[in-house]
Structure 1
Amino acid sequence: MAYTPAILVTFVLLSWLTPPLCSWASGRDDSYVLDACSVTRYQDLCIHSLASYSNIAKKDPSKWARAGVSVTIGETKNTTRYLVALKKRNRLKGRNRMALFDCLEVFQDTLDNLHKSLGVLRKLSDEIFDAQMEDITTWMSTALTDEDTCLDGFGGQNGEQVKLLERKVTRVSYFTSNALALVAKLASDGP
């Protein structure tokens, strides 16, 4: 079977970009992250973004929820920086520019909700666990709704900048969805 150069390059790149799944090769027990991410909607993204937490979180749903929210905060900050830079470049006009302003506002709300969630996750209490989990679930759900609201503002619009923005915001929503699933697992497992 002959390989074309493009197929060979693709195979080499994919093998280079894909982290090893064997615990002996990676130095960690990936069964922990596989188990934790089994409750998420975007499992591959979850596994790749949280694999480095395996040896720390192990089977602790609280640590996995904190890791999920922490990674989501990082992704949200990156996208917020992109939105700010896009605003400064002044490339979007008319409806898209107004949608960008709205998107920046809801992303600030998203960051606030994620930070509140992480703060509570860091100091969970057996006595008020259920109330804490209700608050966190509400904040995380609101963050996900805010991200959808951002995308709604660009509905039906075309252009390279709009499509890139939509991809970045959608990626953040995937991270948020995964973090929310990890929080829901913690809520169902209890303190």
Structure 2
Amino acid sequence: MACTRAMLMTLMLVSWLTTPSWSWDSYVKDACSVTRYQDLCLDSLSSYSRTAKTNPSKWARAGVSVTIGETKNTTRYLVDLKNKNSMKGRNRAAVFDCVDVFQDALDNLHKSLDVLRKLSAETFDTEMEDITTWISSALTDEDTCLDGFEGQNGKEFKVLKGKVTKASYITSNALALVTKLASAGP
């Protein structure tokens, strides 16, 4: 009888350990279904499945948090590129502009996350409008970064473009998650 009980407990444990993986995956797939860059969303947010589950507010916070991380990494890259002094003329000015717009984007993303962390049912609609505006502005900033490099195609520019594009795609996904939260309500 003790052997049967132990075997049953082992089967239950194995079942519990293997089942959540599928359900955690379904949570992130559901959350990312509203995003434009779903594969990137799945890759960048899958680690939040166990805590966010079906909560749109937690997914929005996760999306903005990941966006802040990616935007910080890109900003560091741009600052290093600026300090390296390898780009000259118009491209150098464009790098300086990119640093400025990415720092502005970071400010807007931080404001968004701060408000997301303490949403109020009474002021929910206004808060969501502000957050949407700030994230949209961050996305515009990131997209604007590449404008000064028109016609460029060198290796260094391709790396820069890849980093900036990834940051803007992740920001777009965060905006979609925030929009989903806004439509779900407080």
After TM superposition, is the score higher than 0.5?
yes
1:88 to 67, 70, 83: 83
Structure 1 Cα separation of the partners of residues 56 and 134 of structure 2: 18
CA offsets 1:21-54 (integer angstroms, 9 cap, x no match): xx64958621100000000000010011101111
C-alpha separation between the residues in 2 aligned to 1:143 and 1:99? 17
User: With structure 2 as the length reference, what TM-score do the two structures score?
Assistant: 0.88
Question: Hey, which bits of structure 1, 4+ residues long, moved more than 2 A?
Answer: 23-28
The code of the aligned residue for 1:145 comes to T
Counterpart-to-counterpart distance in 2, 1:105 and 1:179: 21
Superposed counterparts of 1:1-191, under 5 Å: 24=19, 26=21, 29-191=24-186
Deviations 1:86-111 (Å, cap 9, x if unpaired)? 11111000000000000000000000
Moved more, 175-184 or 23-32: 23-32
- Secondary structure in structure 2 of the residue aligned to 1:30: helix
Range with greater deviation from structure 2 (24-33 or 100-109):
24-33
The secondary structure found in structure 2 opposite 1:153 is: helix
Aligned equivalents of 2:62 and 2:153: distance in 1?
35
Work out the percentage of aligned pairs sharing the same amino acid: 75
Q: Deviations over 1:61-99 (max 9, x none)?
A: 000000000000000000111111111111000000000
| Whole-angstrom CA distance in 2 between matches of 1:110 and 1:124 | 21
Deviations 1:160-181 (A, max 9, x none): 1111101100000000000000
Taking the aligned partners of 1:49 and 1:173, their CA distance within structure 2 comes to 13
Please give the root-mean-square deviation of Cα atoms over the aligned residues, in Å: 1.3
Between the aligned partners of 2:21 and 2:146, the Cα distance in structure 1 is: 37
Q: Which has the higher helix share?
A: 2
TM norm structure 1: 0.86
Task: Tell me the amino acid that sits aligned with residue 163 of structure 1.
Answer: K
Question: How far has the Cα of 1:158 moved from its partner?
Answer: 2.4
User: Structure 1: 5+ residue runs without aligned partners?
Assistant: 1-22
User: Hey, what's the Cα distance between the residues in 2 that align with 1:102 and 1:137?
Assistant: 24
Matched letter for residue 38 of structure 1: S
- Report the Cα distance in structure 2 between the residues aligned to 1:37 and 1:168, rounded to whole angstroms: 21
Structure 2 regions of 5+ residues with no counterpart? 1-17
